[in-house]
Amino acid sequence: MNDKKILLIGDSIIASFDTRRILPEFNIINKGLSGNKSTHLLRRLNRDLLSSNPDIIFILIGTNDIAQGISDDEILTNISSILKISFENVQFENIFVTSILPTRNNEPRPNERILEINKKIQIIADELKVNYLDLYSLLVDDTGQLIIDFTDDGLHLNEKAYLKWADFLKKLLTEKLGESC
């Protein structure tokens, strides 16, 4: 196992990612909490960063904000603040902000809105010189929805989706950890 500490932080989509089983070769700390919105993550971020002391951080948040009717501007402001707080603990080149994932027939979380927010998250990432991780494209089908075989409820990922994500993450981390962190 690599000794670099990797923090995954976010909502239920992160919480359900069984990294200990699927990616045992990495020292991954999973701090996903079901139901979290960006405001929740912002409130708990310092505590989770300090307790985890990560070398690398992956942030995935926003789908619950969308479902609760939080404005795009508030979501983006919160994500920007989350990234800036992360700078205090992790080198900017080791911070990854992940796109909000696609959904499938999930009315409170329309993919058109998710795509627009993701474009703006990528702009923020570029401005702050952090990494933008586009998982949306990895998990979407040619109709613009979450691949049907990757979900049972239209929002949460199933085992097949997590294995696809894990394969992507394994390649990324192997390359990243080959460099100095």
- What are 140's strand-pairing partners? 146
What average pLDDT does this structure show over 132-141? 98
Task: Say what the pLDDT of residue 1 is.
Answer: 62
- Mean pLDDT in the chain? 96
How many angstroms separate the CA atoms of 166 and 22, rounded? 7
Banded pLDDT at 179 (limits 50, 70, 90) = low
* 3-state secondary structure (DSSP) of residue 172: helix
How many angstroms separate the CA atoms of 177 and 174, rounded? 5
Q: Quick: pLDDT tens for 144-163.
A: 999 999 999 999 999 999 99
Banded pLDDT at 165 (limits 50, 70, 90) = very high
Domain boundaries, the chain: 5-178
Domain 5-178 fold is Rossmann fold (3.40.50)
Task: State pTM to two decimals.
Answer: 0.95
Whether residue 28 has pLDDT greater than 70 = yes
Q: Are 143 and 149 in contact (CB under 8 A)?
A: no
Task: Say what the pLDDT of residue 177 is.
Answer: 87
Q: Are 139 and 177 in contact (CB under 8 A)?
A: no
Q: Are 13 and 153 in contact (CB under 8 A)?
A: no
